[in-house]
Amino acid sequence: MGLFTTIRDFIFHKQLQSPGTPTMAAPVPPVHTSAIAPATTMATPAILETELVDVAPILDTAAEQAGEALNWRHSIVDLMKLVGLDSSLEHRRQLADELGYIGDKGDTAHMNIWLHKAVMRKLEEGGGRVPDDLKG
């Protein structure tokens, strides 16, 4: 499993566990009719195509409960820590490779900024609602 997948799964699983949303404990059996395609199996819970996962409140709540000040909105290091990942340079370089970074990995400031924007962009592409000020 990739590092981005860990970030995405943390956020999307929190969405499924929040009050008022279905959980994985009571799966709904697939319905097969000529109008509905057969259900497919996925490694992570499926989010309805029309249902966006609101990223900011999930991460804000996690940050409040973290026990330390984590500025996930501006720091890829803090975002990685918040979701339980090792935020070392080695792991950030691994995430950069995973997301297609082609810049100088020695320029960590530039790489970190790019990583944060890339993660937010990928979350949005995958069904997340990301605040406008975090899109890059």
Tens digits of per-residue pLDDT, 50-80?
Answer: 478 999 999 999 999 998 999 999 999 999 9
- Map out the domains of the chain as residue ranges: 3-19+48-128
Tens digits of per-residue pLDDT, 12-60?
Answer: 987 555 554 433 333 333 333 334 344 444 444 454 444 789 999 999 9
Contact 24, 47 (CB under 8 A): no
Q: How far is CA 75 from CA 11, 31, 83, 115, in A?
A: 16, 43, 13, 9
Tens digits of per-residue pLDDT, 70-121?
Answer: 999 999 999 999 999 999 999 999 999 999 999 999 999 999 999 999 999 9
pTM: 0.74
